[in-house]
């Protein structure tokens, strides 16, 4: 039985897609009498089946050699389009992580969106979301990976724009879609070029080609830059990072997945492209620069946000920036460990934030306070999620970041400083948010805020326990170093940076009456951070303005030049036809004369530049 389930492991991502299809009668309004909940139950049932199937497959692949499943989709002449799946402990473990977090997020959504009229449509999109990410986890084909990334872009657009009656939501969904499309188009160029060069789109074949490939530096650089463009957009990295902040306009249960595993899918693809990226040192350096700029910049922007979801979403970009640095430095072990620890901790943080939003119907940090005694489970979840994210002993975030400091501290001390700075700024931001939301005096919107119901509390408490057990999971997976191999200097530096951040966040003066939760000595700096370094305005004045200008010129050219020429030809044909019909005499000699005159005029019209040049030469000679 286990062997059969192993061979049918490709079904695990399909369960989510089946659940999405089963919800269509409710999401399209064909069935109304039962309400939308049966659709949610169908989707939950499919996710439970995916979890059970994935658990059996994970146990079967543990400590076993990776297996590859091939599905020939199209084979014509020399063209062989094959979908390859990688069934290994790493890929199946990533797929199982997606399934577990999707299951908890869907249960959480039952309570969070219990009164939403489009609950069935939401669960259909969540099933689509889950199936796409599960397929990405086990995909071993660049063609299939690209197709699934496109599906992920579409599902992001639909979930961000779920409440499409609100103009701000429509704008956010459009911006998220278009920003990702920029990276996807460049990635498609890289996929086509790589397929031409390597002769295959399966990762094992591409890896073999990369070992002996001899590309010019320019070709290798252009190919690598095209391949990293897609993950840059998916992971919300500079300069394609603005969409994640706007995507917080969508429902919070979708944000749980978006900030934990959706962005991680882009980084996962980047890790699988590592052997191709190694062909160009410039591409690796570009990854380090992009990751460093995003990690530091997003961490600084987060501390000036007053929207509770946006304050956390910027830290997502920052941590994915650390993953980009790891890939650029060829430390994929650190990248995978950080993705694992970050996904669980960030999902828990967004669950606790969703509970706060659900009970207070508010996202403004300056209008909250005093919730710790009224919402103990939510408070505990936020504290545990924060501790699991930053480098505080003994949770998963500490072990992941400690490995990074240990790796970077030897070769690149500057990058180790970037990691410690991100850890300190994240700890400062989370402490600031905790003080504003859970401590202090209750505000009008938080005085009567109760703890959430069991549908939201059960997945939140379950994920709290899972976050506490992450170090044990890492130990069971042999990911933790033994005590004799632990670098005590890196441990001290990491813990010190976390304590400095927490201490600064705990002592800095916060006041509810200010327009922002932090009042920096220089208002310019405060506005600079609060408005994300004015990147959106810079884009509006540069790229958007240039594209708009080119579009206007193209429209004018098409309307008045191209259409003008076509309309002139049409009018000339009509006029000539209407004129000639009055000259029909039936005499052959008249028709011959007409043809002769017309051909002569046409010949003169076509040869006038030649005669014009001769006339100019004659005049030049005469004047000389």
State mean pLDDT over 443-459.
85
Confidence of residue 512 (pLDDT cuts 50, 70, 90): low
Q: What is the pLDDT of residues 50-81, one digit of tens each?
A: 999 888 888 888 877 888 888 777 776 666 67
Residue 365: exposed, middle, or buried by beta-carbon count in 10 A (0-12, 13-18, 19+)? buried
Question: What per-residue confidence (pLDDT) applies to 287?
Answer: 92
Question: What per-residue confidence (pLDDT) applies to 517?
Answer: 44
Using a pLDDT cut of 70, give the percent of the chain over it.
Answer: 90
Q: Quote the CA–CA distance of 149 and 137 in Å, as a whole number.
A: 11
Confidence of residue 542 (pLDDT cuts 50, 70, 90): confident
- The token duo for 196 is 């031409």
Sign of CA dihedral 81, 87, 88, 92: positive
- Whether 2 has a pLDDT exceeding 80, the answer reads no
Residue 269's H or E segment, with its range, is helix 263-272
pTM of the model: 0.86
Q: Are 266 and 184 in contact (CB under 8 A)?
A: no
Q: Quote the CA–CA distance of 301 and 315 in Å, as a whole number.
A: 9
Q: Cα dist. 618→212, 609, 622, 624 in Å?
A: 65, 14, 6, 10
Question: What per-residue confidence (pLDDT) applies to 616?
Answer: 54
Q: Are 244 and 316 in contact (CB under 8 A)?
A: yes
Question: What per-residue confidence (pLDDT) applies to 582?
Answer: 65
Phi/psi class of residue 218: alpha, beta or left (left: φ > 0; alpha: ψ in -120 to 50)?
alpha
Q: What is the pLDDT of residues 344-403, one digit of tens each?
A: 999 999 999 999 998 988 888 888 888 888 889 999 999 999 999 987 878 888 888 888
Q: Quote the CA–CA distance of 43 and 16 in Å, as a whole number.
A: 7
Number of neighbouring beta carbons within 10 Å of residue 258: 27
Confidence of residue 460 (pLDDT cuts 50, 70, 90): very high
The answer to which of 309-313, 320-324, 501-505, 608-612 has the lowest mean pLDDT is: 608-612
Helix axes 396-411, 308-328, angle to 10 degrees: 40
Using a pLDDT cut of 90, give the percent of the chain over it.
Answer: 21
State mean pLDDT over 435-456.
84
Q: What is the pLDDT of residues 13-48, one digit of tens each?
A: 889 889 888 888 888 888 888 888 888 899 999 999
Question: What per-residue confidence (pLDDT) applies to 518?
Answer: 47
- The residue extents of the domains of the chain are 1-140, 142-539, 542-584, 585-624
Q: Cα dist. 615→204, 602, 607 in Å?
A: 69, 20, 13
Which residue do the tokens 């370094």 mark? Answer: 533
Q: Which long-range contacts (CB under 8 A, 24 or more apart) does 36-43 make?
A: 36/117, 36/118, 36/119, 36/120, 36/123, 37/110, 37/119, 39/119, 39/120, 39/123, 39/124, 40/106, 40/109, 40/110, 40/119, 40/120, 40/123, 43/16, 43/19, 43/106, 43/123, 43/124, 43/126, 43/127
CA angle 499, 303, 171 (to 5 degrees): 145
State mean pLDDT over 520-543.
71
β-bridge mates for residue 86, sequence order: 68
Confidence of residue 286 (pLDDT cuts 50, 70, 90): very high
State mean pLDDT over 511-531.
59
CA angle 43, 155, 28 (to 5 degrees): 55
Q: What is the pLDDT of residues 304-316, one digit of tens each?
A: 888 888 889 889 9
Q: How many residues does the chain have?
A: 624
State mean pLDDT over 491-520.
73
286 vs 597, more confident: 286
365 vs 528, more confident: 365
- Whether 551 has a pLDDT exceeding 70, the answer reads yes
Mean residue pLDDT across the chain? 84
- Whether 411 has a pLDDT exceeding 90, the answer reads no
Question: What per-residue confidence (pLDDT) applies to 458?
Answer: 92
Question: What per-residue confidence (pLDDT) applies to 617?
Answer: 62
């Amino acid at each position: 039985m286990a062997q059969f389930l192993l061979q049918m492991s490709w079904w695990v991502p399909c369960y989510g897609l089946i659940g999405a299809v089963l919800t269509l009668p409710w999401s399209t309004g064909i069935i109304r009498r039962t309400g939308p909940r049966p659709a949610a139950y169908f989707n939950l049932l499919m996710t439970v089946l995916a979890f059970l199937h994935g658990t059996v497959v994970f146990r079967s692949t543990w400590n076993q050699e990776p297996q590859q499943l091939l599905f020939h989709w199209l084979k014509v002449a020399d063209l062989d389009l094959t979908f390859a799946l990688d069934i290994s402990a790493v890929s199946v473990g990533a797929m199982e992580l997606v399934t577990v977090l999707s299951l908890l997020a869907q249960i959480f959504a039952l309570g969070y969106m219990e009164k939403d009229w489009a609950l069935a449509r939401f669960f259909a999109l969540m099933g689509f979301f889950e199936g796409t990410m599960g397929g990405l986890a086990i995909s071993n084909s660049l063609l299939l990976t690209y197709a699934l990334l496109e599906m992920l872009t579409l599902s992001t657009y639909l979930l961000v724009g779920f409440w499409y009656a609100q103009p701000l939501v429509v704008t956010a969904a459009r911006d998220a879609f278009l920003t990702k499309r920029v990276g996807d188009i460049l990635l498609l160029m890289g996929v086509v070029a790589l397929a031409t060069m390597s002769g295959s789109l399966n990762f094992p074949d591409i890896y073999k080609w990369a070992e002996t490939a001899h590309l010019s530096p320019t070709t290798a650089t252009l190919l690598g830059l095209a391949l990293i463009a897609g993950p840059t957009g998916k992971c919300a990295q500079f300069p394609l990072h603005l969409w994640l902040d706007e995507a917080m306009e969508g429902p919070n249960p979708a944000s749980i997945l978006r900030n934990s595993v959706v962005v991680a899918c882009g980084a996962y693809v980047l890790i699988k492209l590592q052997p191709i990226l190694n062909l160009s040192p410039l591409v690796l350096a570009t990854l380090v620069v992009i990751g460093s700029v995003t990690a530091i910049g997003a961490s600084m922007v987060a501390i000036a946000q007053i929207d509770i979801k946006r304050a956390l979403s910027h830290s997502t970009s920052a941590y994915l920036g650390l993953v980009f640095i790891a890939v650029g430095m060829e430390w994929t072990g650190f990248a995978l460990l950080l993705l694992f620890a970050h996904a669980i901790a960030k999902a828990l943080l967004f669950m606790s934030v969703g509970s706060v939003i659900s009970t207070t119907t508010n996202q403004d940090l300056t209008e909250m306070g005093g919730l710790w005694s009224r919402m103990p489970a939510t408070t505990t979840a936020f504290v545990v999620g924060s501790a699991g994210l930053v480098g505080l002993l003994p949770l998963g975030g500490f072990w992941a970041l400690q490995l990074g400091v240990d790796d970077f501290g030897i070769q690149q001390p500057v990058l180790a400083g970037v990691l410690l700075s991100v850890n300190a700024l994240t700890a400062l931001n989370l402490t600031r948010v905790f003080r504003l939301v859970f401590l202090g005096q209750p505000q009008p919107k938080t005085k009567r805020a109760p703890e959430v119901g069991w549908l939201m509390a059960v997945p939140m408490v379950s994920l709290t326990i899972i976050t506490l057990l992450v170090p044990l999971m890492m130990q069971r997976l042999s990911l933790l170093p033994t005590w004799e191999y632990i670098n005590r200097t890196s441990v001290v530096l990491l813990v010190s940076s976390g304590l400095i951040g927490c201490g600064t966040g705990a002592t800095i003066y916060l006041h509810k009456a200010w327009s922002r939760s932090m009042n920096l000595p220089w208002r310019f700096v405060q506005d600079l951070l609060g408005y994300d370094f004015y990147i959106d305005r810079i884009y509006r004045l540069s790229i958007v303005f240039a594209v708009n200008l080119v579009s206007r010129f193209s429209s004018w050219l098409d309307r008045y030049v191209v259409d003008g020429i076509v309309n002139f030809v049409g009018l000339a044909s009509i006029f000539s036809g209407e004129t000639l019909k009055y000259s029909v005499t039936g005499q052959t000699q008249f028709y011959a004369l007409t043809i002769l005159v017309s051909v002569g005029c046409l010949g003169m019209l076509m040869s006038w530049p030649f005669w014009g040049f001769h006339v100019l030469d004659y005049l030049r000679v005469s004047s000389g």
